[in-house]
Structure 1
Amino acid sequence: MKQSMLTWAVSAAAAVMAGFAAPVLAQDSKVADEIAKYREALNDGNPADLLEVKGEGLWSQKRGPKNASLEQCDLGQGPGKLEGAYAALPKYFKDTNKVMDVESRLVHCMVTLQGFTQAEVTKQWFSKPGAESDIEALVTFIGAKSNGMKINVPAMHPEEAKMAKMGEYIFYRRSGPQDFSCSICHGQEGKRIRLQELGNLTTKEGAGFAMKTWPSYRVSQGAVWTMQRRLIDCMRQARWPEPNYLADSIIALETFLQKTATGTVMETPGIKR
């Protein structure tokens, strides 16, 4: 008798939950559809396009103590070659003996080719109200040159493999006052914070969806964000110690995520909430 009552109670509870779940799922689907329509409408006039034009001008403009342009900057495809460069970064560079992403390599070129100090070129590495960032403009221009191309970061070089492994460790490591990790939000399917879907970055599809649209214009911020800025902000939100700009930990995370996303077609500049 007790067993039958228990069975009935469980069945009744399941029915009640199913009754609640159906409208919730329907509402979730409706919200997701409306967000998709909103993003599609914005893509017809992505404000990042203007920053891309600015970046193109900065690329060819002679600047700095050496009065030189960046047209001989080697981003991994050869001096001055931009097509597909962003999609193949981070990668190992022999001249610096380091694995570098697009931003660390760009800063290197601004220092070595144009004669700026690193402090000068990174003083405003992200935009602020009324003040755009040259680095964000250049990264947007460079990123667009990989649009429609496949991400290709197999991390075959020993130093690249080491960075990818470090990035994987950071991704899963629980740390900070809240004992948090990247994987808590981005290691499973179907997770969400409020209206924001949290992709599963451990899969090619999930990592690809996340990585293919950066740099992106963020509507809530009214500015283009680079991947460095996005990852540093993620760590801040997780209450981790905030890394310095161009820190190895950020480049390691990028290497891990780009390796996971390899084969995904780039769609940049993107647009985010």
Structure 2
Amino acid sequence: MKFRTALVTAVCIGALSAIGVAVAQDADTEKGIERYRQMLREDPWSNPGLLDSDRGEALWKTPRGPKNVTLEQCDLGKGPGKVEGAFAELPRYFKDADRVMDVETRLLWCMEKLQGFNPADIVKRPHPGGGQPVKELGAIATWVANQSSGQKYAAKLDLPKEKEVLALGEDLFFRRSGPFDFSCATCHAAEGLRIRLQGLPYLADTKEARKVVGEWPAYRVSSTHVMTMQHRLYDCYWQMRMPQLQMGTDASVALVAYLTKKAEGGEIAAPGLKR
């Protein structure tokens, strides 16, 4: 009996020691990743996402689509063709579309109305796979976001339809569903949560949301491409094994609206850099 007790005690001590070593290794790895991010921040031109921002600007100004016109008459909320500062005030209600739209949804609408693209063709495969460059819509969205870098999130979201969308976004953020009975809040409504080496931001908290949300679109080192906010939400839904979250749907725009409102007053630094 004494031998068995001693053996169990030794095994437990060994397991706890192994856990302690693993936690320490995880902490060291995370610190190393953060040092890498800091090095890139100190030299902004080393951010690969800026290449996609430049590509987005070229796509904005290039005649394309069945109508062979540019997007330079696209109204992002500040008047046709006015881009600087527009991202900081999105999502917002657009009277011509009679919808609340985020940047990607509005660009998709402009590509249809101005250039003649079929939106169904674009949303069929809107996001890149690992190692592939961000799609054209995502590149344009990255450039538009970059034109608000250094500004603060200032979407008013105070019109009746904007309030409805905001309420839907909050409901979706906290609603548990799917085969895992998960919600966005499962990972993002408490401090100190993590998945493996990845720390999870406390997005339900305004202070934390202000730090994080403004970095999207962001270049992800692990997948070597820019990921937009719509893509990030799509990926989260996939990880929760939820039904596919299609770009530009009311649900996707509502979640963007909720996160943007939580980040109100936070600085925009797009494209950001993510693990």
TM-score range, shorter-chain basis? 0.7 to 0.9
Q: Distance in 1 between matches of 2:123 and 2:24?
A: 46
Q: Distance in 2 between matches of 1:92 and 1:130?
A: 33
Which residue number corresponds to residue 153 of structure 1?
155
Q: Deviations over 1:46-102 (max 9, x none)?
A: 111111111111111111222211111101111111111112111110111100010
Secondary structure of the corresponding residue to residue 215 of structure 2: coil
How far did residue 127 of structure 1 move? 2.4
Which residue number corresponds to residue 5 of structure 2?
none
Q: Distance in 1 between matches of 2:163 and 2:82?
A: 25
1:244-263 superposed matches below 5 A: 244-263=246-265
Q: Distance in 1 between matches of 2:127 and 2:244?
A: 15
Secondary structure of the corresponding residue to residue 142 of structure 2: helix
Which residue number corresponds to residue 96 of structure 2?
95
Q: How many residues align?
A: 256
Contact 2:72 2:80 in 1 (8 A): yes
Q: Distance in 1 between matches of 2:134 and 2:210?
A: 28
Name which of structure 1's ranges 262-271 and 234-243 shifts more when overlaid on structure 2. Answer: 234-243
Which residue number corresponds to residue 33 of structure 2?
35
1:215-234 superposed matches below 5 A: 215-234=217-236
| Cα separation, partners in 2 of 1:31 and 1:130, compared to 1, 3 Å | closer
Q: Is the counterpart of residue 64 in structure 1 residue 70 in structure 2? A: no
Identical pairs, percent? 45
Secondary structure of the corresponding residue to residue 273 of structure 2: strand
Look up the equivalent residue of 1:50 and give its one-letter code. L
Contact 1:127 1:136 in 2 (8 A): no
Secondary structure of the corresponding residue to residue 241 of structure 2: coil
| TM-score relative to the length of structure 1 | 0.87
Contact 2:188 2:203 in 1 (8 A): yes
Ranges in structure 2 where 5+ consecutive residues have no aligned partner: 1-12
Ranges in structure 1 where 5+ consecutive residues have no aligned partner: 1-15
Look up the equivalent residue of 1:268 and give its one-letter code. A
Q: Tell me how large the CA RMSD over aligned residues is.
A: 2.2
Which residue number corresponds to residue 51 of structure 1?
52
Q: Distance in 2 between matches of 1:59 and 1:33?
A: 38
Which residue number corresponds to residue 242 of structure 2?
240
Look up the equivalent residue of 1:88 and give its one-letter code. E
Contact 1:216 1:268 in 2 (8 A): yes
How far did residue 216 of structure 1 move? 0.6
